[in-house]
């Protein structure tokens, strides 16, 4: 099947959101420019890692170039746009700073479901070749530092909106409690 590369350059809206109840949520990244909309599925831990890395990138940019304008923007609290059609499940994530344009680039690559023999026959250059006609689908998003800052704020809010942590062990509490390892297996 031919590779699909969805590029949003520049993106108008790039957000993370969830579908489902806390404890059983699916996390989506959604990009929109004009009428074009793309949604990709990923894990909560991937959302956390992306937000942390983008925050580190922005801090580094502020340190390197104090004159760089990163407007503080409000959190986009609107729901994900519907219909939510999963393009692919995210496997590999790449973040970069496009210094010539003063923009942040994020590439999300679909999970590769191949056998070990298939992977052994692929050269490393082919995996990261943007012009390759075969390979996992890609969502490429180009955004301003201000949009990046807004994305990080929303991602942190969405992740923290899940189940509260147990005060004893830190694991997520279900509405009915949970078996707490720090309480010798008693329900909390």
pLDDT above 50 for 127? no
Structure tokens at 3: 């590779």
* pLDDT value for 126: 44
Span 49-67, pLDDT tens digits: 999 999 999 999 989 888 7
In a domain, 121, yes or no: yes
Structure tokens at 92: 């590999």
Average pLDDT of the residues in 67-95: 88
In a domain, 26, yes or no: yes
pLDDT above 60 for 115? no
Looking at the DSSP bridge assignments, the partners of residue 93 are 108
Higher pLDDT, 96 or 187: 96
In a domain, 82, yes or no: yes
In a domain, 188, yes or no: no
Give me Rg for the CA atoms of the chain.
19
Average pLDDT of the residues in 35-48: 96
What are the Cα distances from residue 145, in Å, to 7, 29, 166?
A: 18, 18, 35
In a domain, 75, yes or no: yes
In a domain, 176, yes or no: yes
pLDDT above 90 for 33? yes
Neighbour tally for 163: CB within 10 Å? 16
Task: State the Cα–Cα distance between residues 128 and 123, nearest whole angstrom.
Answer: 10
* pLDDT value for 94: 94
In a domain, 35, yes or no: yes
Domain that holds residue 34: 5-183
Higher pLDDT, 185 or 151: 151
pLDDT above 70 for 111? yes
In a domain, 100, yes or no: yes
Q: Walk across the sheet containing 26-33 and list its strands.
A: 5-8, 138-143, 103-110, 86-98, 36-42, 26-33, 13-19
91-129: string of b/e by CB count within 10 Å (b at 16+)? eeeeeebeeeeebbbbbbbbeeeeeeeeeeeeeeeeeee
Q: Are 15 and 80 in contact (CB under 8 A)?
A: yes
Distant-in-sequence, close-in-space partners of 69: CB < 8 Å, separation ≥ 6: 145, 146
* Number of domains forming the structure of the chain: 1
Task: State the Cα–Cα distance between residues 181 and 169, nearest whole angstrom.
Answer: 7
* pLDDT value for 139: 96
- Band the pLDDT of 41: cuts 50, 70, 90: very high
């Amino acid at each position: 099947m031919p590779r699909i590369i969805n590029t949003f350059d520049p993106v108008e809206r790039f957000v993370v959101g969830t579908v489902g109840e806390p404890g059983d949520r699916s996390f989506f990244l959604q990009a929109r420019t004009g009428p074009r909309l793309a949604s990709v599925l990923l894990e909560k831990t991937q959302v956390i890692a992306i937000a942390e890395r983008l925050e580190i990138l922005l801090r580094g940019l502020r340190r390197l170039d104090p004159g760089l304008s990163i407007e503080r923007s409000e959190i986009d609290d609107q729901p994900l746009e519907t219909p939510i059609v999963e393009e692919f499940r995210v496997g590999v994530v790449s973040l970069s700073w496009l210094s010539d344009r003063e923009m942040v680039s994020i590439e999300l690559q679909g999970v590769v479901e191949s056998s070990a023999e298939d992977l052994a026959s692929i050269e490393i250059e082919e995996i990261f070749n943007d012009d390759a006609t075969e390979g996992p689908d890609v969502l490429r998003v180009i955004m301003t530092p201000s949009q990046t800052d807004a994305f990080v704020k929303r991602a942190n809010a969405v992740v923290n909106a899940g189940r509260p942590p147990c005060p004893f062990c830190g694991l997520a509490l279900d509405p009915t409690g949970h078996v707490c390892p720090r309480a010798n297996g008693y329900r909390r």
